[in-house]
Amino acid sequence: MQAKAALFEMLREYGTRYVFGNPGTTELNFIEMFADYPDITYILGLHDAVPVGMAYGYALATGQPAFLNLHITPGLANGLANIFNAHRAKVPLVVTAGQIDRRMMLQEPTLWSDLARLASQFTKWAYEAKTGQDIPDMLARAVTIASTPPAGPVFLSLPMDCLDEEIAGTASRVELTRRLRPTGDVIDRIARQLAAASNPTLIVGAGAASPEARAALVTIAELTGARVFGERLPVRSVFPTDHPQYLGMIGFSHAQLQSELSGADVVVLAGVRRFAALLYMPVAKLAHGAVAIQVDDDPWEIGKNFPATLGVVGDPAVVFPEVAERLAGLLDAPTKQRAAERMARVRGDRERRVEAWLQDAPQPEAGQQMRPEYVYRILARFMTDRTTIVDEALLQARFIDRYLPLHTERSYLGVAAGALGLGLPASLGAQLAWPDRHVICVIGDGSLMYAGQALWTAARYHIPVTVLVLNNRAYQILKDGMRAYKRGAVAPERMVGMDLNDPAIDICGMARALGVPGQVVEDPTQLREALSDATGAPRLFDVLVQP
């Protein structure tokens, strides 16, 4: 058996349905194998960022490692931004690339480089085959490493001659158990801290994005009357955003963050990984004597962005159901009464916030363009529990949870590291993983330009994603960042390279050229009509919004 046949036999054993890729000459002997394995579909992207983004969305949706194949040095380099996103989001990917024949490496021919070294900074493991017999063992190890908490991408370099070698056979698949559980006394300690708290606060993050953790966190919030915040710009939705104790994403500025945490005596961070800002901001501090309990399956995250008092390395899907169960048994009648009074205050705070949020999202006057907040208000009316939002409108992502009913971890997928070019291909991968859901990609006009080629892939494979482009004709997040950096108004001539209106980009024309119908949307009526017309095919709406 040739090594390349062994590789495909193992992909079949792992239940691989799709391989995402962009091929080149060093991948030819890999690509030809799809003719012998018709049950494994090759999904072509026109730029290497696209297959990486699709694999990201697919793996995030399925929870299993996605397999992709890139083209030697330029392909890996082109895909690194989205590999970086997967690394930060802890998304399991098995990234492969063809490599030139080992007998030529000393000559450093065209396209050759040390691929494993290039990939190493943003992968859990990077390795290049030395013989054909390495390849089955490499794949088995790669799947194990990518899947083991904390999950993440791995990289395999596959020299052409190694793939063609005759080898003994495949490698055995490793069955993993991945649930990390702390000892019972730790569970008791968390439950006792919450039961005794006078002002408990929960901050939920993507590390707790599971049905078990979500249900337990809702129970804990309701038992204690806790305030609940989401982490900044999350990768997944966790806590239901329309729950009466959910108060939105935690503050984006240091002042906001300190205000949200003032008075909290017990703060529980459930799978939270997003605190640090891009521009300098001091580390948040709790009041003297307050307790911060951080639960994550990755010890690297404990205390990294927040001064944790108790760090618990464990799977939130295991830890929080046990905490909720023990907490219920610790609450006597007076404690329950205090929790009920606290809950009433928190829910009143939520009502005031919702009123302010709605004032920030007014219906536009006749002839005015919509604000992005109002776009979300309209979108919310068309969402069901089978809708998934994939988000790369980074400016608007700061308030998306104020308007959209995100009930489960399948409701929302976001960008972890902020590298653009992920959202559109990730939406295609999520749609392939969840064919029974309606995936809507909400993306900025600037972000769309990083991987717009993914529209062609949507058309080619009939992937019925709806793309909503929030088009403000600028890199508006940079303009806001400049104002924050300068601490006030900034003259237009200092906003260099931040406008996308001269010439204006014909986004719908681009979409049509790539095989996806496009329509400009300028007012609420048009948007409602667009969202109500489900065609079962990919489509794009260029929604003109106020800068």
User: What gap in Å lies between CA 210 and CA 433, rounded to an integer?
Assistant: 17
Per-residue pLDDT tens digits for 210-263: 999 999 999 999 999 999 999 988 899 999 999 999 999 998 777 888 888 888
Q: Which residue has the higher pLDDT, 362 or 176?
A: 362
Mean predicted confidence (pLDDT) in 328-334: 95
Clarify whether residues 109 and 205 are in a common domain: no
Name 88's Cβ contacts closer than 8 Å, sequence gap at least 6.
Answer: 416, 417
> What pLDDT is attached to residue 178?
66
Flag whether pLDDT at 479 surpasses 80: no
In a domain, 76, yes or no: yes
Domain end among 134, 164, 194: 164
Identity of the amino acid at 337: Q
The angle at the Cα of 15, spanning 12 to 18, to the nearest 5 degrees, equals 85
Flag whether pLDDT at 416 surpasses 80: no
Domain end among 133, 164, 195: 164
Domain end among 348, 381, 401: 348
Query: What global pTM score does this model have?
Result: 0.94
Whether the Cβ atoms of residue 128 and residue 117 lie closer than 8 Å to each other: no
Clarify whether residues 212 and 157 are in a common domain: no
CATH code at position 293: 3.40.50.1220
User: What gap in Å lies between CA 537 and CA 535, rounded to an integer?
Assistant: 5
Identity of the amino acid at 110: T
Clarify whether residues 317 and 386 are in a common domain: no
Whether the Cβ atoms of residue 448 and residue 441 lie closer than 8 Å to each other: no
Name 356's Cβ contacts closer than 8 Å, sequence gap at least 6.
Answer: none
| Average pLDDT score over the chain | 93
In a domain, 220, yes or no: yes
Q: Which residue has the higher pLDDT, 475 or 506?
A: 506
Dihedral pair phi/psi, residue 176, rounded to 5°: -100, 140
What count of residues does the chain have? 547
In a domain, 170, yes or no: no
Strand positions, DSSP E, 76-235: 93-99, 126-128, 154-159, 200-204, 227-230
In a domain, 169, yes or no: no
> What pLDDT is attached to residue 227?
97
Clarify whether residues 365 and 343 are in a common domain: no
Clarify whether residues 128 and 190 are in a common domain: no
> What pLDDT is attached to residue 547?
80
DSSP at 400: G
> What pLDDT is attached to residue 475?
78
Clarify whether residues 339 and 319 are in a common domain: yes
> What pLDDT is attached to residue 287?
84
Where are the alpha helices (H) located in 271-315, listed in sequence order? Answer: none
In the structure, what pLDDT confidence band is assigned to residue 63 with cuts at 50, 70 and 90?
very high
Clarify whether residues 450 and 515 are in a common domain: yes
Q: How many domains does the chain have?
A: 3
> What pLDDT is attached to residue 276?
63
Domain range enclosing 529: 360-544
In a domain, 531, yes or no: yes
Name 336's Cβ contacts closer than 8 Å, sequence gap at least 6.
Answer: none
What Rg do the C-alpha atoms of the chain give, in angstroms? 24
Strand positions, DSSP E, 122-254: 126-128, 154-159, 200-204, 227-230, 246-249
Handedness of CA 419, 424, 425, 427 (dihedral sign): positive
Clarify whether residues 134 and 262 are in a common domain: no
Clarify whether residues 296 and 257 are in a common domain: yes
> What pLDDT is attached to residue 144?
95
Whether the Cβ atoms of residue 134 and residue 74 lie closer than 8 Å to each other: no
DSSP at 231: P
In a domain, 303, yes or no: yes
CATH code at position 392: 3.40.50.970
Clarify whether residues 382 and 481 are in a common domain: yes
Per-residue pLDDT tens digits for 89-128: 999 999 999 999 999 988 999 999 999 999 999 999 999 9
Clarify whether residues 109 and 65 are in a common domain: yes
User: What gap in Å lies between CA 50 and CA 56, rounded to an integer?
Assistant: 10
Per-residue pLDDT tens digits for 345-401: 999 999 999 999 999 999 998 888 999 999 999 999 999 999 999 999 877 888 899
Clarify whether residues 428 and 524 are in a common domain: yes
In a domain, 179, yes or no: no
